Structures are given as structure tokens and as C-alpha cells.
Structure 1
């Protein structure tokens, strides 16, 4: 039994319309998601200010990483939630599917995000080139967590 056959039992086949236009939709979903995270960062920064005052300044060290903390919670709760998609992914009609048949959980979604940041910081926009040469338009971090991004209407 090949690995490809195992994957296809949970995710649509490679020739399926579920992967048509996925890369361009992922880029647009990324832009929408990071706009939402930037908007969520503002109340988080205000909340951290008051927490910092209450802790006599001990919480102020979180300001440099606050954007990343907000992003981890955002992606963890949206991609790891019921819809299995962030708000940007939902607006583009995308959903994440794990190749092992399990639902995406908070931790796996957070690891998916961390790997994306890691590969994007090393490969910058070249990270998208992998998707041009894979049959299911998967990127490196998708392979490592065992996930596939599919169009919602095709599933």
C-alpha cells in the first residue's frame, strides 16, 4: 500500500477540482488573515498595557512578540476549530484537511503556522514555488504536518 493511496482516502485525489486555484486563494487568504490579526493586535496591546501596570511592568516584555502571540491564538482557534479554516481561508472558500483523517487541532494548527514562518523567513516568497510542483498544491509546512488545503465546495 503506497502512501499516496493512504492520503487519497482522506483528501481528494490529485486531479480533483478541489485543488484548482488553491495557491492564489491561499495568498489572498494570507492577506486577509494578517489584516485581521493586525486589527486584533490593537485591543491585545491595550489589554497588555493594563496587565503590565497590574504586574508592575513585568508583562511589558511581551510587547515585542505580541503580534505572534495573537497570530498563534487566531490560527489555533480558527484552523483548529469547527470550520477547519481561518477567516481568510473561509472568505476564499478554502479548508484544511489532515491526511491522516483526523481533525486539525489547536496544537497542529500552531505548528503549521510556526513552520510557515520558519520556511518563509528562510525562503521568502520562494516557499510558494513548492506548490507549483506538487500534485495537491501542498507547501513544505503542509507536508510536515500532514495537511492539504482544499476548496470548500469541492469536498
Structure 2
């Protein structure tokens, strides 16, 4: 449900200076470089947080649709670290994660992938967050 293929590129000459405004904010952190990625993962490991990464694109309709919900989730679940990677801004990095459609969400803990969701399904994203938090709570007992 609701996904864009990554092969679609934004229109040439489009000004994207304000494109990320609707995607970030609250507790969502935009990843702009590999160094920022590594810094955020280190921070999450130190703080014992699970990372939720949204590989997205500003031109993608489903990405735009789920962005406000993703921001709401970041406020509702401060025990998670919410990251956003724009596949057009970091194409090589996104390719290294084998992103074939946007949005694609990854759940990471201690640098390891726990789960993945392709598409903009709010109920499915909520269900996966709940399952991840429940499994982390169990493992902490």
C-alpha cells in the first residue's frame, strides 16, 4: 500500500530548500551525511534506544502523506530515535540499504536490523512500533 518507486526523480530545477519542512520536526532528525548517520547511531546505542529510519523522498505522495504521522509518532515514543533519509539527497547511502521503494522504514537496535516496512501504512507502522517496544521491554527484564 502506498509506495513510490525510487527510480522516479524529482523534476529538474525544482527548488528543494523548503522540501524537508513537512518531513522533519518534533523528534525527527534529518540525516544529511554518512557522518551524521554514524553520530545518531552512536547516540542511540549509548542511550539504549531503538532507531526508526524513514527512507523517503520529497516528491513521493505516500511519503508526504505519512510524514505528519511519523512526526506524531516521534513525539509519542521518545524512547525511539526517529531518523529521516532523503533518497535523492543520499543516493549512494540509500542504495547501500537496498531501497527499492519509498517510504521504507527500518527498525535498528545496536546497529542490527530488527524489522522493515515498505509502504505508507499507518496501522502497520504503529503495529511494528508496538511489537518492537514490547520485545525490547521483554529483553530488558
TM-score, length of structure 2 as denominator length: 0.29
Structure in which a larger fraction of residues adopt strand: 2
| Bigger Rg, which one | 1
